[in-house]
């Protein structure tokens, strides 16, 4: 405990207002950057040493971009903001009585706390599906998805049994929100265009890409006419879209789902999960410590200034916040909402420091967009909706604009221009991920157990 005591002494040196931010996603990073010239001390805590540009994660999962293209080291982004320090550590708990964040080996005192720890996958009570149907939230997730997709093609090339080969070439994406739609489109492009010439035993056009959605259309948050455009686009790419379905089981060999009254067993080697999210554990910790209300998926219901009711010093921003003060439903868990919330927080803190009044947060909806395959997108800006090539250009420009560093803007733009003209995809490496390693360890363990059982039976 010596370290913790020493550390907190160091931390409280000076009389400046101490702002602690947990999480370096869009919400946390935008708050930290904007506080970079305010008269406060800022500590940004994250388990990872980099900010991840999640909207492009599906391009890492399908080999268009490398992880580093969409990840920015937090220290590098914030190096010029001398009042901001970055700590790579995990927040274990929050002690609201003494106003401290408890990390693995030290405690950080705060005057104002901003919690921005986001969400993770939600398998609706079927957590064991996580190993057979990975989701897409972290760099490791994306590398694992990439590994599975590419390994399926490699295994199919070696396979001589027609039925097994078809299962290896069947890719199922569960959930047709933006991530699911973008992932399915990118897999179809990979199979039918990018890798068309690369195999000698299999014909990659025999691959099947199937998108399953529970509701009656793809991209449910968008206007129905854009959903229809998106579905048309996906079908043109070769994706089979099945709406109004309900997945009832996922195993290593396939997926079972209900379509109307019919139960369908689909043999498939690769099943990917893009269907639901739940709040990170910090939500429950806040509820326990402060009595904050949580919604159905564990997000913290916040006041109109993003604070927790009756806790004027604790704020929640980004995907972890349920902000329901505009319209009928809470704001969606998008990067745009998180960025605006983060910047609002920074301004609110600066205003409070100057003794000025703080106005409630208001989200300015600049629209939604999703990409459908290589050169097509749908864009809904409220007053105008469009789709096709120009929508794709708009999507491209917006995403490059919001990438954090100039280095990344440049290399991502070059990768995309290159891919556009060559249909190439350079980041198609099968690397041994941690997930693959533990999967292998599990399998080895299972084999040992089987052998021992067999040996027993022989005796």
* Positions marked active-site: 182
> Cβ 29 to its own copies, closest distance in Å?
15
Name the one range near its own copies by CB under 8 A: 218-226, 270-278, 432-440, 449-457.
Answer: 432-440
Using the Cα atoms of residue 448, residue 450, residue 453 and residue 457 in order, give the sign of their dihedral.
negative
Scan residues 321-340 and list those touching its own copies (CB under 8 A). Answer: none
Cβ distance to its own copies smaller for residue 368 or 374 = 374
197 near its own copies, rule: CB under 8 A = yes
361 near its own copies, rule: CB under 8 A = no
310 near its own copies, rule: CB under 8 A = no
> Cβ 426 to its own copies, closest distance in Å?
5
Q: Which residue, 320, 319, 426, is CA-closest to 63?
A: 426
Among 186, 195, 272, 331, binds its own copies (CB under 8 A): 195
75 near its own copies, rule: CB under 8 A = yes
Assess contact for 307 and 208: CB atoms under 8 A. no
Cβ distance to its own copies smaller for residue 438 or 447 = 438
Scan residues 127-166 and list those touching its own copies (CB under 8 A). Answer: 139-140, 143, 150, 154, 157-161
17 near its own copies, rule: CB under 8 A = no
d(CA 338, CA 284): 20
Question: Parallel, antiparallel, or unpaired: how do β-strands 170-174 and 270-273 relate?
Answer: parallel
447 near its own copies, rule: CB under 8 A = no
Question: Parallel, antiparallel, or unpaired: how do β-strands 50-52 and 71-73 relate?
Answer: antiparallel
92 near its own copies, rule: CB under 8 A = no
Kindly write down the DSSP assignment for every residue of 46-92, as one continuous string.
Answer: ESSSEEE-GGGHHHHHTTSS-GGGGEEEHHHHTTT-TTEEEEE----
For 265, counting Cβ atoms within 10 Å of its Cβ (0-12 exposed, 13-18 middle, 19+ buried), the class is exposed
For 63, counting Cβ atoms within 10 Å of its Cβ (0-12 exposed, 13-18 middle, 19+ buried), the class is buried
Among 90, 95, 424, 450, binds its own copies (CB under 8 A): 424
Cβ distance to its own copies smaller for residue 50 or 395 = 50
Name the one range near its own copies by CB under 8 A: 229-237, 240-248, 259-267, 420-428.
Answer: 420-428
d(CA 377, CA 54): 18
d(CA 249, CA 239): 21
409 near its own copies, rule: CB under 8 A = no
48 near its own copies, rule: CB under 8 A = yes
CA–CA distances in Å: residue 320 to residues 91, 123, 296, 315: 15, 17, 12, 11
Count, residues near its own copies per rule CB under 8 A: 66
> Between 52 and 71, how does the x/- string for binding to its own copies read (CB under 8 A)?
--------------xxxx-x
Q: For residue 372, count other CB atoms closer than 10 A to its CB.
A: 32
- Binding footprint of its own copies on the chain (CB under 8 A): 2-3, 6-7, 10, 48-50, 66-69, 71-73, 75-76, 79-80, 85-89, 105-106, 139-140, 143, 150, 154, 157-161, 195, 197-201, 405, 407-408, 410-411, 414-415, 418, 422, 424-434, 436-438, 441
């Amino acid at each position: 405990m010596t370290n913790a005591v020493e550390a907190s002494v160091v931390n409280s040196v000076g009389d400046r207002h101490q702002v602690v931010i947990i999480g370096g996603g869009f919400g946390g990073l935008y708050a930290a950057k904007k506080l970079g010239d305010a008269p406060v001390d800022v500590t940004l805590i994250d388990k990872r040493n980099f900010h991840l540009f999640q909207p492009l994660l599906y391009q890492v999962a399908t080999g268009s971009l490398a992880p580093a293209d969409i990840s920015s080291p937090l220290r590098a982004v914030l190096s010029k903001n001398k009042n901001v320090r970055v700590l790579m550590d995990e927040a274990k708990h929050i002690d609201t009585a003494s106003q401290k964040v408890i990390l693995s080996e030290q405690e950080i005192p705060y005057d104002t706390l901003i919690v921005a720890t986001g969400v993770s996958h939600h398998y609706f009570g079927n957590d064991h599906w996580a190993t057979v149907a990975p989701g897409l939230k972290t760099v490791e997730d994306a590398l694992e998805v990439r590994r599975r997709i590419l390994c399926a093609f490699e295994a199919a090339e070696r396979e001589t049994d027609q039925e097994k080969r078809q299962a290896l070439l069947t890719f199922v994406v569960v959930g047709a929100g933006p991530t699911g739609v973008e992932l399915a489109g990118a897999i179809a492009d990979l199979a039918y265009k990018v890798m068309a010439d690369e195999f000698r035993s299999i014909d990659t056009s025999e691959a099947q890409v199937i998108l399953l959605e529970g509701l009656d259309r793809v991209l449910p948050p968008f206007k129905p006419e854009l959903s229809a455009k998106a579905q048309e686009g996906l079908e043109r790419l070769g994706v089979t879209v099945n709406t109004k379905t309900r997945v009832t089981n996922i195993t290593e060999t396939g997926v079972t789902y209900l379509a109307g009254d019919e139960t369908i067993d689909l043999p498939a080697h690769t099943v990917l999960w893009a269907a639901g999210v739940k709040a990170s554990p910090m939500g429950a910790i806040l509820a326990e410590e402060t009595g904050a209300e949580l919604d159905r998926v564990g997000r913290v219901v916040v006041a109109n200034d993003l604070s927790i009711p009756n806790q004027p010093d604790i704020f929640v921003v980004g995907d972890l916040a349920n902000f329901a003060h505009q319209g009928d439903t809470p704001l969606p868990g998008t990067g745009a909402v998180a960025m605006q919330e983060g910047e609002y927080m920074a301004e609110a803190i600066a205003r409070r420091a100057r003794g000025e009044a703080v106005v409630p947060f208001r989200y300015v909806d600049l629209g939604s967009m999703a990409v459908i395959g290589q050169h097509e997108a749908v864009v809904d800006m409220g007053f105008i909706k469009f789709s096709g090539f120009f929508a794709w250009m708009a999507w491209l420009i917006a995403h490059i604009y919001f990438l954090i560093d100039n280095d990344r803007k440049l290399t991502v733009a070059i990768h995309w221009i290159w891919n556009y003209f060559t249909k190439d995809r350079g980041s198609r490496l099968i690397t041994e991920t941690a997930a693959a390693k533990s999967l292998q360890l599990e399998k080895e363990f299972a084999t040992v157990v089987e052998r021992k059982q067999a040996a027993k039976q022989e005796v």
